């Protein structure tokens, strides 16, 4: 298939300056949003079914971490495959493979297989997980770069990263909620079977959407990128990965330590409600990033908003009730959403030519790895040393994100001319 053929669905705008919404179409955004849900349901769904079927919270935690391990190891490779062969083929294979692995895992966990096979099946779920969010970002970034007028690209890119981050926040709040509803109303295995069905149907639809045919103009006729793999390891890009890893650790550490905090007060089931305070605020502020003035540069935004996040975590040292915890979470919500949007914006700006899907899946995997690591370490610390010790870890994670932002401030001075327009 030639590049002219692959670009056909995105051509023929009705006027000289089409909007991204018109280029992609309303069905695209609806499909891409629902297609994210299975990924948000997997980790919590795996934990729920393992605890119910095997009666072990420890094994449940390890199994959830195994899902994250599979995603971390294979996510960037799948992104590279999407860059090389196009998203459509890769996503169709993953939709079927992941749906199958979710079903296999359910059979294994309820069977008599050893715990090792349960963990291996969990790695398989993570390894085949279609990372719709990073690939959606990559797809939209490519459209913006190649279909929109130069003067509108920066503003549109900022708005797109804001929307994508807000969509992620919404899905990762709603996903666990949906798991709880299905597990309570039907059975512990229901969330995983539901996730399998959503994966096959909606990830398949995401793959088959006309934008899925689009191959970057920066790739040659054989699909090779003009940039070498070594460009993925530049300091300016790696610092973004470190920063987003810190955000992932924060997510895992905060939810786990909050659960411990509420368990001390006899209401662990209310942790999700309080966490939603931060999630909703984060999503709203993430959307607001698109309206920030251009003079408020990306590198300044990273420092300012990660600083607000860090200040919110410092308040954790003084919380003594659900009310004061809610205040701290609200402050953190102001910082976390815009920080995440800014980091993804830097990732888009610094992606080597023809490798945007690889970079976006690197960042998406950083979130997953950080979240799994943060949850595992915080859970162990809460059990062995208590809630007060566990509440220190979100502060450490926020400090990592802030320190990466400070390093990025100086690295941005060595950015390319294209990067300087947004840095």
- Topology alike, domains 28-216 and 227-423: yes
Lowest-confidence segment of 6-15, 148-157, 301-310 by average pLDDT: 6-15
**More confidently predicted of 227 and 45:** 45
Check pLDDT > 60 for residue 389. Answer: yes
Q: Provide the pLDDT confidence category of residue 10 given band limits of 50, 70 and 90.
A: very low
Contact 41, 189 (CB under 8 A): no
**More confidently predicted of 59 and 195:** 195
For 227-423, the fitting CATH number among 1.10.645.10, 1.20.1250.20, 3.50.50.60, 3.40.800.20 is 1.20.1250.20
Check pLDDT > 60 for residue 260. Answer: yes
Task: Give CA–CA dist 224/144, Å, rounded.
Answer: 21
> In this predicted structure, what is the pLDDT of residue 377?
85
Check pLDDT > 80 for residue 96. Answer: yes
Per-residue burial over 269-284, b if 16 or more Cβ lie within 10 Å, else e, is eebbebbbbbbbbbbe
Rounded (5°) CA angle 167-122-130? 35
Most confident of 144-158, 237-251, 258-272, 377-391: 237-251
- Residue 174 is encoded by which pair of tokens? 């709603």
**More confidently predicted of 353 and 411:** 411
> In this predicted structure, what is the pLDDT of residue 19?
74
Alpha-carbon dihedral sign for residues 63, 341, 86, 19: positive
pTM: 0.76
Task: Give CA–CA dist 203/133, Å, rounded.
Answer: 11
> In this predicted structure, what is the pLDDT of residue 416?
44
Task: Give CA–CA dist 76/27, Å, rounded.
Answer: 27
Task: Give CA–CA dist 237/240, Å, rounded.
Answer: 5
Question: Which residue ranges make up each domain of the chain?
Answer: 28-216, 227-423
CB-based contacts of 107, cutoff 8 Å, min separation 6: none
Q: How does DSSP classify residue 64?
A: H
Q: Provide the pLDDT confidence category of residue 259 given band limits of 50, 70 and 90.
A: confident
Among 127, 109, 113, 124, smallest CA distance to 52 is for 109
Q: Provide the pLDDT confidence category of residue 228 given band limits of 50, 70 and 90.
A: low
Task: Give CA–CA dist 255/375, Å, rounded.
Answer: 8
- Residue 250 is encoded by which pair of tokens? 């924060």
Check pLDDT > 90 for residue 158. Answer: no
> In this predicted structure, what is the pLDDT of residue 11?
42
CB-based contacts of 68, cutoff 8 Å, min separation 6: 43, 126, 368, 369, 371, 372, 373
Check pLDDT > 90 for residue 360. Answer: no
Q: 72: part of which helix (H) or strand (E)? A: helix 57-85
Helix pair 322-349, 150-185: axis angle to 10 deg = 140
Task: Give CA–CA dist 345/154, Å, rounded.
Answer: 10
> In this predicted structure, what is the pLDDT of residue 214?
60
> In this predicted structure, what is the pLDDT of residue 423?
52
Contact 382, 256 (CB under 8 A): yes
**Radius of gyration over every alpha carbon of the chain, rounded to an integer in angstroms:** 21
pLDDT tens string 208-223: 988 776 655 554 444 4
Mean pLDDT value across residues 342-371: 82
CA distances from 82 to 212, 335, 395 (A): 10, 32, 36
Check pLDDT > 50 for residue 392. Answer: yes
Instruction: Identify the residue whose tokens are 């941005």.
Output: 412
Q: What is the CATH number of domain 28-216?
A: 1.20.1250.20
Q: 178: part of which helix (H) or strand (E)? A: helix 150-185
Contact 50, 210 (CB under 8 A): no
> In this predicted structure, what is the pLDDT of residue 229?
64
Mean pLDDT of the chain: 81
């Amino acid at each position: 298939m030639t590049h002219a053929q692959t670009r056909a669905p995105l051509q023929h705008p009705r006027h000289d300056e089409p909007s991204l919404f018109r280029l992609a179409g309303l069905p695209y955004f609806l499909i891409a949003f629902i297609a994210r849900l299975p990924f948000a349901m997997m980790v919590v769904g795996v934990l729920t079914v393992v605890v119910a079927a095997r009666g072990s919270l420890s094994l449940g935690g390890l199994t959830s971490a195994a899902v994250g391990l599979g995603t971390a190891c294979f996510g960037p490779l799948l992104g590279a495959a999407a860059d090389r062969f196009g998203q459509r083929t890769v996503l169709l294979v993953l939709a079927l493979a992941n749906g199958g692995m979710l079903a296999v895992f359910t059979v294994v966990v309820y069977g008599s297989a050893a715990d090792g096979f349960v963990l291996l099946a969990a790695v398989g779920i993570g390894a085949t997980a279609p990372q719709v969010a990073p690939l959606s970002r990559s797809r939209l970034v490519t459209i913006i770069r190649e279909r929109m007028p130069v003067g509108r690209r920066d503003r549109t890119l900022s708005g797109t990263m804001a929307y994508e981050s807000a969509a992620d926040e919404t899905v990762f709040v709603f996903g666990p909620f949906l798991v709880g509803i299905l597990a309570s109303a039907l059975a512990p295995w229901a969330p995983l079977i539901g996730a399998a069905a959503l994966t096959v149907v909606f990830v398949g639809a995401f793959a088959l959407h006309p934008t899925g045919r689009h191959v970057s103009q920066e790739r040659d006729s054989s699909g090779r990128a003009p940039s070498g793999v070594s460009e993925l390891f530049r300091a300016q890009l790696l610092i973004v990965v470190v920063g987003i890893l810190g955000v992932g650790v924060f997510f895992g550490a905060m939810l786990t330590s909050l659960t411990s905090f509420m368990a001390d007060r006899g209401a662990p089931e209310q942790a999700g409600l309080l966490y939603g305070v931060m999630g909703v605020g984060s999503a709203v502020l993430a959307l607001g990033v698109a309206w920030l003035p251009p003079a408020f540069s990306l590198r300044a935004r990273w420092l300012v908003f990660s600083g607000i996040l860090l200040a919110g975590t410092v308040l954790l040292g003084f919380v003594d009730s659900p009310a004061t915890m809610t205040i701290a979470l609200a402050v953190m919500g102001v910082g976390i959403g815009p920080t995440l949007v800014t980091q993804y914006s830097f990732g888009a700006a610094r992606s080597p030519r023809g490798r945007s899907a690889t970079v976006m899946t690197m960042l998406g995997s950083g979130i997953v790895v950080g979240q799994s690591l943060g949850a595992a370490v915080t859970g162990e610390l809460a059990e062995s040393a208590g809630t007060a010790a566990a509440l220190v870890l979100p502060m450490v994670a926020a400090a990592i994100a802030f320190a990466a932002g400070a390093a990025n401030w100086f690295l941005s001075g060595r950015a390319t001319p294209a990067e300087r327009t947004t840095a």
